[in-house]
Amino acid sequence: MNNTTRFACVIGLILSLGASAALAADPLSDRLQRSYELEGEGSYAAALAQLEGVRAEGDGAYVLLLRQGWLSYLAGSHADAVHAYRGAISQAPGAVEPLLGLTLPLMASKRWSEAVNACDAVLAVAPGHYLALSRRALSLYSQGRFSQAAIAYAALVQHYPSDVDMLAGLGWARLKEGRSGEARDAFSRALRYAPNHALAQEGLNAAW
Amino acid sequence: MERKRLIIPLLAALSLCSSAGMAAPLVGAAPEGASQALVEAMDAAEHSPEDYAAMTALARQARAEGHLELCLDAWAEAERISGGNFETAAGQVEPALAHGDHRLARRAASEAVALAPDNAAAHLLMAEVWYQAPPAVPRALSHAKWENALATAAELRPDDVAVQCHLGWARLAVGDRLGARRAFVNAYDGGAPCASEGLAETEAAWSSTGGVYTSVLAYPTDANLGSGASLAATGSASYGDLVTVEILGRKSHLNTFDDRGFDAFDLSQSELWGRARLSHRGHGAELLLGTGTLTGDTLQNASAIGGRAWFTRGVTLWGEAARSTYTDGVNTQAAVGVSIPLATHLRFDAGLSRTELRATPGMGAESSGPHLSALLALTATYSRLTLSGGVRLGEEVRPIRLMEPGFWNLDGSIGSSAFVRAAVEVQEGARIYAGYDLVAEENSGLATPWGHVVSIGLEKTIGGRLP
C-alpha cells in the first residue's frame, strides 16, 4: 500500500467513525433501536417508555408517532394507539401505513364504524389494498352488516380465489344473511382447498 | 347479586328506521337472579356498544335465562347496530312470542321472510307466528297463513320430514284432508316417527250420522192458523270430510180455523230431501233435491232442486239457487253471502236473497215478488257449545232454506224474522240442538203478525274420524 492509499483509508475511517458518532448521538435513532429490541423481547410497555420525551420533527416526528401507535396497540392501550396513529396521519396525510395501523386498535376496541372509515381511507389512497379490504369486510361483519360484508368478502374472493379465510368469511356472512345455499357453496370451496379449516367446517355444519 | 346497569336504547323498537346516532340511551338494570354469565354478557355489551356479536350474545344469554324483555331489548339493539338483518329478525320471533308480543313476532318474521325468501327457516318462523296467533285473530285466517308458510318451507326443504308432519296438521286444520294425508305419507316415507298419528288421523273412513228433530209452531194472533208440530229424521254418510250424502224426511202438521173460529182443515206436509256434498279446503258444492206432498184445502205436490257452492280464502263466499215447483206455481230463489271470521270463536254471516213466485193461472195462487231479504247473523263457538243468532230483514215468498231445507208453504209471503240457535256436543259425536224462530206474516193485516217456532234436535255420529 502506498502513502496516498493509506491516507485515503485513514480519511475514510475518520469519516466513517464520525458518521457513526453522529448517528449514535441522535436520541431518536437510539431510542427507536432500543424499542425494537424491547419489542422483540415482548416488553411493549418498556419499548414504549423508550420513546417518551423524545423530541423529533418532520419525518422523525411521523416515525415516532407511528412507532408509538404500534407499541401502544401491542401493549393493549388502544385509545393511546388511536391517538398516536391519528397524530401520524396528520404528519403524513398521504401515507397508507398510519391509516392501516389505525384500523388495528379500532378493531381491537370494537369501534367498527371508525374501523370501516379508516379502511375506506386506505382504499382511497391505495385501491385494492388486501389488508384494508379484508379488515373492512371483517368490520362490517362484526357490525352485523352481513350483506355489505358478503359483498366485501366476495370482492376479495374474486381477486384472491384461493384465500380460504376470505371464503370462510363469505360463507359466514351469507349464512347470517339467511342465504344458506350460498353459504354452503363458500364453505365447501374453502374446505376443498383447506380440509381442516375449522371456521369453514363449523360454518358448513351450521348451514345445514 | 350486584345489580348491573346496561345502556339499552329507548328507540330500539324503531331501530329499522333509525341510525346509530339517533338512539336515545336508556339505563337499565340487570334482572333479578341474573347469572354471572348474563352479567358478563351485559358488561361486554356495555363496553362495546357497537359490537353486534356482544349484543346478540347478550340476547341469547338473556333468553336462555328467561329474561325476555332484556332479550328483546338486546335484539333490538343488535338490529340498530346492524341496520337490521336476517339474524336480528329471526332472533326476535321466538322471544316475542314467548313474551306475548304477537305483533312484534309477526313483524320480525315478516322481515325474516322478506330478507331471505328462499330460507325455509324464515317460513317456519312465520308458521310458528300464525300457529300461536292470539284469539283475536280469526282461526280461519291464522290457520290458512300457518298452512301457507309451512307449505313454502316444505317446498324449500322437501326432505325435512318434521316439516312434512307440521304441514300435515296445518292442512288438516284448513280442511285439506287429502293434502294432509300426502304430507303425512311423505313424512312416513322419510322415516319420521311423527307421521304415525297423522296417518291414523287422516285415514279416510265412512261415518254415519243420524238425527231427529222436532218443532212446535204457533200463530197465536192469526185467526186462521193455529198451532202445529213437525218431526224430522235425518241420516247421512260421510267419507272423511270430503263427501257427504244426506237424506231428510219431515212430517208437519198445523191446524187451521175458519173465519168463524171453528176448526177447519188440517195442514199436513210430508217432505223428503236428499243432499250430496263435496268439500275440500273450505271450498265445496252441494246439490239438494226435495219432494213433498202438501195437504190442506187442496192437495199439492211439490218438488225442489237447488245448489249451493262456497269458496274460502280467509272469508267464505257462498252462493245458492233453487227452484221449487208447486201445483199452483213455481218459485225461484237465489242468494249470495259471505261468512267472515271475526275472531277465533266468532263468525259473522251476511247474505242477500231474492225470491219470486210465479203462479200457475187458475190454481188459486197469486204471483208474488221478486222480494229481497237480507240475512245478518253472528255465531259464537266456545269449546263444545255453539250459539248463533240473527235476523232476516225484508220479504220472502216460499223460501227453501238450503241449509235447513223445507217447504215454507204459506199462501202469503213472510216478512222479517229473527232466530237464535244453540248446539252443544254432549259427548263425542252426540249433539243436542235447540232453536227459536220468530217469523212475521207479511201483509197479514195483523197487529202482531208473529209466528213462533221452537225446535229441538238430537244428532249422533258413528264411525269415521270425529272432529
What pLDDT, on a 0 to 100 scale, did the predictor assign at position B443? 64
Q: What is the pLDDT of residues A130-188, one digit of tens each?
A: 999 999 999 999 999 999 999 999 999 999 999 999 999 999 999 999 999 999 999 99
ω before B370 within 30° of 0 (cis)? Answer: yes
User: In this structure, which amino acid lies at residue B455?
Assistant: S
Rounded to a whole number of angstroms, the distance from the CA of B86 to the nearest CA of chain A is 5
Would you tell me how many other CB atoms lie within 10 Å of the CB of residue A20? 10
Helix or strand run (H / E) with residue B157: none
Contacting residues of B for A111, CB less than 8 Å apart:
50
Yes or no, beta carbons of B53 and A142 under 8 Å apart: yes
pLDDT at A90 over 90: yes
Query: Average of pLDDT values for A105-126?
Result: 96
pLDDT at B15 over 70: no
> Which residue of A lies nearest to B46 if distances are taken between CA atoms?
A110
pLDDT at A3 over 60: no
Query: Average of pLDDT values for B432-450?
Result: 81
pLDDT at B17 over 70: no
Work out the end-to-end distance of chain B between its first and last CA atoms, rounded to an integer number of angstroms. 53
Of A109, A111, A177, the CB nearest to B85: A177
Rounded to a whole number of angstroms, the distance from the CA of A69 to the nearest CA of chain B is 21
Q: What is the mean pLDDT of chain B?
A: 86
What pLDDT, on a 0 to 100 scale, did the predictor assign at position B239? 85
C-alpha cell at A184: 354452503
Whole-prediction pTM: 0.72
C-alpha cell at B114: 322478506
Concatenated DSSP letters of B372-403: EEEEEEEEEEETTEEEEEEEEEE-BSS---SS
Q: Which distant-in-sequence residues (6+ apart) come within 8 Å of B452 by Cβ?
A: B217, B218, B219, B220, B436, B437, B438, B439
Do the Cβ atoms of B355 and B333 come closer than 8 Å? Answer: yes
Q: What is the pLDDT of residues A4-49, one digit of tens each?
A: 444 443 333 333 434 444 444 577 889 999 999 999 999 999 999 9
Yes or no, beta carbons of A144 and B56 under 8 Å apart: yes
Query: Average of pLDDT values for B217-244?
Result: 85
Q: Which distant-in-sequence residues (6+ apart) come within 8 Å of A197 by Cβ?
A: A164, A168, A190, A191
Give the model's confidence band at B28: pLDDT under 50 very low, under 70 low, under 90 confident, else very high. low
Do the Cβ atoms of B227 and B253 come closer than 8 Å? Answer: no
* A33 phi/psi in degrees, rounded to 5: -60, -40
Concatenated DSSP letters of B228-262: EEEEEEEEEEEETTTEEEEEEEEEEEEEEE-TTS-
pLDDT at B224 over 80: no
Q: What is the pLDDT of residues B287-339, one digit of tens each?
A: 999 999 988 777 788 999 999 999 988 789 999 999 999 888 999 999 999 99
Do the Cβ atoms of B428 and B466 come closer than 8 Å? Answer: yes
Q: What is the pLDDT of residues B111-166, one digit of tens each?
A: 999 999 999 999 999 999 999 999 888 888 899 999 999 999 999 998 899 999 99
Give Cα separations from B154 to B47, B120, B121, B220 (angstroms): 43, 7, 10, 63
CA gap B12, B153 in Å, rounded = 30
Do the Cβ atoms of A197 and A161 come closer than 8 Å? Answer: no
